[in-house]
Amino acid sequence: MCGIAGFVGPGGLADLRRMMSALEHRGPDGAGTYHDPNASVFLGHRRLAIIDPGGGAQPMWNAEGSIGVVFNGEIYNHVELRRKLERRGHQFRTDHSDTEVLIHGYAEWGESLPEKLNGMFAFCIYDRTRARLFLARDRFGEKPLFYSQQGGLFSFASELTSIAQHSHFSSQIRRRSLQKLLAYGFLPAPNAILENCEKLPGGSWLTVDVRSGAIHAHRYWQFRLEPEHGWRDRPESTLVEELRELLFEAVRRRMNADVPLGLFLSGGIDSSAVLAAATKFRAAEDLQSFTLGFTEASFDESRPARRVADAFGVRNSIDWLELETARQQAPDILSRLDEPSCDPSVLPTHLLSRFTRQSVTVALSGDGGDELFAGYDPFSALAPARIYNAFVPRPLHSILRAATNRLPVSTRNMSLDFKLRRTLAGLSYPPELWNPVWLAPVDPEFMRDLFEEPLTPEELYSEALDVWSANGEQALIDRSLEFYTNFYLQDGILTKVDRATMLASLESRAVFLDNDLVDFCRRLPHRFKMRSGKRKYLLKKALEGLLPQDIIGRAKKGFGIPTASWLKSMPTNPPLDPVPGVRMDRVASAWSDHRNGSADNRMFLWSWLSVQSFGRLTRDYATPAATAPPSLLPVSAGSVG
C-alpha cells in the first residue's frame, strides 16, 4: 500500500516533494521521484512495502526506460499474469513484484490492462514513447485517485491534500459538492469537495496527452446485477458449495504478503466468515485477529468476536475503547482525513487500525458482504415501505412523522426512535429516493433551509437517479442493491476504511470484493440474498457447519460510536466558522436543538464537525506556501531503467 502523486506542466521538484510529504503516512517505508525535464513530467511514490520489499521500489521502469509506473495497491492475481506474460516473451527483472506486472501488462494489453487485474489499485503509467499518462482505478475504487486540470497544470494524487501542495494550484470548497456530501453522507465520484478537482470513478481509466494536455476518461467496468434465470433451477446445495469455494479462494489470494498479516474481527458474519476461511490456509496458532471493544454495552461486539476466535483457536487481541479518550481524539482524527467524513465509524475504524498496526502490516476485512448479500436493515424495510407508500395518504404520513419527531430522543446505538425518524423521512419521497434519504445526514427538506441556493432533490441525487432509471425493469431489492454497491460501498465505506487504515500505515484487504466472488453475486437471483425477511440467505447457508450457529443468527450491529450523547458537550463551543452559501443561523439552531434534547441532529452535526475541520485544513489552498521546506527525497532526472 502506498501513496502516489505527480503532475505535468509548470512547477518543479520542490512542488513534487511537498506533494509527497503530504502522503508520508501512506508510505513510511520509502520514497522515490522521477522528473522528465524534456516533457515537464513529475512522478512521485511513497511506499508501504508489502510484496517483494527488496525489489519493488518505485517509480519502476521497463528495461528500455520507455514505460514507468507509480502504483498504490495490490494485484492478487499477479503470479498468474506474470506467467502469462512470460510465455509471451516478457522478461521480468524483479523476483515477484506485482508492480512489474503492470509495466509488462501495459506493454502487452494497453488500455485493456485494468480489465485483467484482480485487486485493488490506483496507478499512473508514463508511456514516454507515446508521450502520455495512463491512470486507472480498480473496479470498486478501493484505492483513491484524484486529479486536477487547472490552466496548464495537470496533477494527480492519492489524496486531495497532496494536490493542494502544488504552488500553481488554487481552490476552495465546491458548494455543489458540499450539498451532495450532506445529502448522501459521502461524495459520489466524480465529485470532489474542492473546485478544479475530480475523483476518478472506480472501474475507470484516464489518459493525458503530455504535449497537448488533452484528457480522455473511460469507464471499463461498473457493478450491474445480471441475474441468471437458469440459476433458479439449480440445486441450492450447488450454489452453496460454489459460494463457499469462491470465498475460500478470495481469502487465499489475499493472504499473500511478505509482512505480518492479521484479520479484523467484529463478531459479525462477514468478518467471521473471513476468519473461518483463513484457517483453511494457515494454522490457527499462526493467525491473529483484532477487535475493538466498547465500554458502552449497546455498541460493544467484543464478546461474539472472542466467541468466534475461540471456536477456531485463533488469538484475539482486544483494545478497549475508552469513550472519553476517543472523544478527545476525535477532532485531531477528523482534521487528518483528507476529505470530510460524515460517517462517525471512521473514528473507531482508525483506532482499531492503529491498534492492529502494532502487530501486523496487513489486515483482512469483511467489507462488501452487506452490499452484495443484502445485509443492511433497509433491505428488510423495502417490502413494508412499499405497502406503506401505497396505502398511507400524504396527510396521514405528515401526522405520523410529526408524532414520531416528538418521541423522546435516545442516545443508544440504533434506537427505535432513531430508526423510526429515519424511515419516515425517507418515505416522504418517491421510492427512487428512499435509500439515499435514509442514509442522508441532512434530508432535502432541511437542505432547503440550510443553503442559500439549495439544489433540488433531483440535483442532489442525480448520480443515484441515473443508476436507478437505467434499470427500470429490476425488482426494488435489486435496484437498492445496486445503489448500495455503486455508491455507499464505493464512496462511503471504502473511502472511510482507506483513510482510517492508511492514517495508521496499515493495509486493509476486502475479501468480498474479489472479482470472481463479485461476478457470482451479480448473477445470483435476489431470492438467494433475501428470503422471507432473512438477509444474507445463501451466505449464511454457506457458513453452516463452519461458524457457530449463534453467530450466524446474530442480528447485525453497526460499528458505531455514541455521537448523539457526545455532541451534547463536544466540542464545548460549537464550531460556527462561516461557510459560503450556508445559513449559519440554521447550523446554530441545529446545535441548540440537539443539546437541549428537542431534536436528534447527530448525523448532521458530526458531518458539520468534519466539514469545519476540513475547512480549517484547506483555508490556505488559494495561496499555498510555496516556500515550505521540501522533504529530502531521492530523485532521478530523466534516467530510468
pLDDT for residue 571: 86
Decide if 637 contacts 21 (C-beta within 8 A): no
Report the Cα–Cα distance between both ends of the chain, in Å, rounded: 23
pLDDT for residue 633: 35
Decide if 81 contacts 115 (C-beta within 8 A): no
Residues in the chain with pLDDT values less than 50: 620-641
Q: Which three cell numbers stand for residue 583?
A: 445559513
Say whether 132 sits in a helix, a strand or coil: strand
Decide if 72 contacts 4 (C-beta within 8 A): yes
Nearest in space to 352 (alpha carbons), one of 311, 307, 317, 314: 317
Residue owning grid cell 448523539 = 564
Q: Which three cell numbers stand for residue 591?
A: 446545535
pLDDT for residue 415: 64
Centroid of chain to Cα 419: 24
Query: pLDDT for 197-249, tens place per residue?
Result: 999 999 999 999 999 999 999 999 999 999 987 787 789 999 999 999 999 99
* Torsion angle of the four alpha carbons 103, 109, 111, 115, in this order, in degrees rounded to the nearest 10: -100
Q: Which long-range CB contacts under 8 A does 320-326 form with residues at least 24 apart? A: 320/293, 320/294, 320/295, 321/292, 321/293, 321/294, 321/295, 321/348, 321/351, 322/295, 323/294, 323/295, 323/296, 323/561, 323/562, 323/566, 326/351, 326/561
119: amino acid identity, one letter = G
CA atoms of 294 and 319, how far apart (whole Å): 9
Domains in the chain, CATH or no CATH each: 2-222 (3.60.20.10), 229-374+481-552 (3.40.50.620)
Residue owning grid cell 435476489 = 526
For the entire predicted model, the pTM comes to 0.92
User: Which residues are within 8 A (CB) of 343 and not within 5 positions of it... i.e. 6 or more apart?
Assistant: 185, 186, 492, 493, 496
